[in-house]
Chains A and B, each alone.
Chain A
Amino acid sequence: MLKLEHLQKRYGNFALDCSLTLPPGRVTGLIGPNGAGKSTTFKAILGLISADGGSVTIFGKALKDFTARDRAELGVVLSDSGFSGYLTVKDVIPVLASLYSRFDKVFFLEKARQFQLPLDKKIKDFSTGMKAKLKVLAAVSHDARLLILDEPTAGLDVLARDELLEMLREFMEKDEEHSILISSHISSDLETLCDDLYLIHEGRIILHEDTDVLLDNYGLLKASPEQYEKLDKQFLLRARKESYGYSCLTDQRQYYMENYPALAIEKGNIDEVITMMIRGAAL
């Protein structure tokens, strides 16, 4: 579906070098702190900015050979951009119908009603939640094969987020070849939706793992200085000095549970993994 090979972009001090693969039928999450390069990666995938090196391949086609017709197979949400705020939902419908041959107007209107999106109000006067719903709705209403979603749930309350995630699940159920590349700050969104996760930091991918593996096998060890001294460190990914001693990230939680029964070991979650991978020191 989508393949990035050493996609590079430089802005002053910032340098992006990103490789990732998104097979058909998968939901892949791109996570990382602000300024890590998520939006830059999305924009380079979409050809909105020119890459300084590397390659982007979508549906087996190089980005430079990508035509408007190929683009119609994508559904896109960008975090900092959307339809002109001077348009209304009613204005947007004929535009989408004209740009996408498979635009499903009935579905669009039904969902707009369900989400209580006002049809005659200018988009710039929408609430954050309404804007976000409209963006995702536009992305899923023309039978795209691949969704590229940059922070689709940013600024939303729990209910609105659930509604959006539900819409994405419906999208995945429609066809087993459908795929989604999504970035988000909210780890619970990603835990429930994504098959695998890429962690990006300072422009580089520092971790790629299946979500299940991450949740089942990763763990956080809390060790006193003495315990830390005696610890077998071959399965530790990161360690960080704490007031009580050390916290350590492992991808072999079971091993430490069996061999160090006295150690406090917590199950992995995405937030902890992100924090440790970025703040912790490599061993």
Chain B
Amino acid sequence: MKGLLIKDFKLMKTQKNYFLLILAITVGMSAFSEDVSFTMGFLTFVVSLFTISTISYDEFDNGNAFLFSLPITRTSYTLEKYALGLILGGGALVVSTLLILLTNASRNIRPVPEILLTALLILPVVLLIQAVMIPFQLKFGGERGRLAIIGVFGLLLVLGVVGVKIADALHIDIFGILEQLPAPGMGMLLALLFGAALILLLLSVRISLGIMGKKEF
């Protein structure tokens, strides 16, 4: 696992400039944008994508054949990609939160607890994104994987929009219903979100292990 992580960080080094550019944009946004959640979400999401790019790098020029002749297993390879995703996503979230806290200290646009709460809400979303992207990338690889991921996110968006439209047509007021529900505490909502994200992540790990187990190099 450690050897694979070292390899992936060495691979990501080749994208250093791209990485610095994203960081610069985030610094700019945290200094000038009012939208805290977007700034955090942006850095976290984009940095999470680096996990996917390491999978492409591994596949480049049939590199996987040699990689899997090294003393690693298909299981350790798969788990390492999730670990990398969590390290990158979690790290980016911490960095963006610190940046915002720093700029907020002089601008004072949001109370600190609200910023921290936003960060906590983004974390399960990061887990969800990893859970969806990694199996698709492992299954389809490179270009096709990227298209598949875009397709899935697009489909989810369309389903959401269609759902709301249908509800509108049937004169069901979704937001009204949501408001009438007994409001659980913020802690409860967070716990639910984390629970759901974790279950999906574990399911995703299982699917990925299945995909990698069957692969031929």
Interface residues of A (CB under 8 A from B): 43, 46-50, 67-72, 74, 76, 78, 80-87, 91, 94-96, 98-100, 122, 124, 148
**Residues of B close to A98: CB separation below 8 A:** 2-3, 6
Interface residues of B (CB under 8 A from A): 2-3, 6-7, 10-11, 13-14, 57-58, 60-73, 76, 216-217
Q: A82–B10 Cα gap in the complex (Å)?
A: 16
**Residues of B close to A78: CB separation below 8 A:** 65-66, 69
Is A68 a contact of B10 with CB atoms below 8 Å?
no
Is B73 a contact of A87 with CB atoms below 8 Å?
no
**Residues of B close to A47: CB separation below 8 A:** 68
Is B216 a contact of A50 with CB atoms below 8 Å?
yes
Q: A94–B3 Cα gap in the complex (Å)?
A: 7
CB distance from A52 to the nearest CB of B (A): 12
Q: A243–B44 Cα gap in the complex (Å)?
A: 75
Is B11 a contact of A84 with CB atoms below 8 Å?
yes
CB distance from B217 to the nearest CB of A (A): 4
Known: A84-B61, A95-B10. 18 other contacts (CB 8 A): A43-B65, A47-B68, A48-B69, A49-B216, A50-B216, A68-B73, A72-B71, A74-B69, A76-B66, A80-B62, A81-B66, A84-B7, A84-B11, A86-B57, A91-B13, A96-B3, A99-B72, A148-B69
Is B217 a contact of A49 with CB atoms below 8 Å?
yes
B63 in complex: contacting residue of A49, A67, A83, CB < 8 Å: A83
Is A84 a contact of B217 with CB atoms below 8 Å?
no
Is B216 a contact of A48 with CB atoms below 8 Å?
yes
Give 7 A-B contacts (CB < 8 Å), ordered by A residue: A48-B217, A49-B217, A68-B71, A71-B70, A81-B61, A95-B3, A95-B10
Q: A277–B91 Cα gap in the complex (Å)?
A: 62
Is A68 a contact of B65 with CB atoms below 8 Å?
no
Q: A71–B62 Cα gap in the complex (Å)?
A: 20
Is B57 a contact of A71 with CB atoms below 8 Å?
no
CB distance from B90 to the nearest CB of A (A): 22
Whether A71 contacts B63 in the complex (CB less than 8 A), given A94-B6, A98-B2, comes out as: no
Is B70 a contact of A81 with CB atoms below 8 Å?
no
Q: 8 tightest CB-CB pairs across the interface, nearest first?
A: A98-B3, A81-B65, A91-B10, A99-B3, A72-B71, A71-B71, A81-B66, A76-B69
CB distance from A145 to the nearest CB of B (A): 13
Whether A48 contacts B2 in the complex (CB less than 8 A), given A82-B63, A84-B57, comes out as: no
Is B76 a contact of A81 with CB atoms below 8 Å?
no
Q: A49–B69 Cα gap in the complex (Å)?
A: 11
Is B72 a contact of A68 with CB atoms below 8 Å?
yes
CB distance from B124 to the nearest CB of A (A): 32
**Residues of A close to B63: CB separation below 8 A:** 81-85
**Residues of B close to A68: CB separation below 8 A:** 71-73, 76
**Residues of B close to A91: CB separation below 8 A:** 7, 10, 13
Whether A95 contacts B60 in the complex (CB less than 8 A), given A49-B216, A100-B71, comes out as: no
CB distance from A259 to the nearest CB of B (A): 51
A99 in complex: contacting residue of B57, B66, B71, CB < 8 Å: B71
**Residues of A close to B14: CB separation below 8 A:** 86, 122
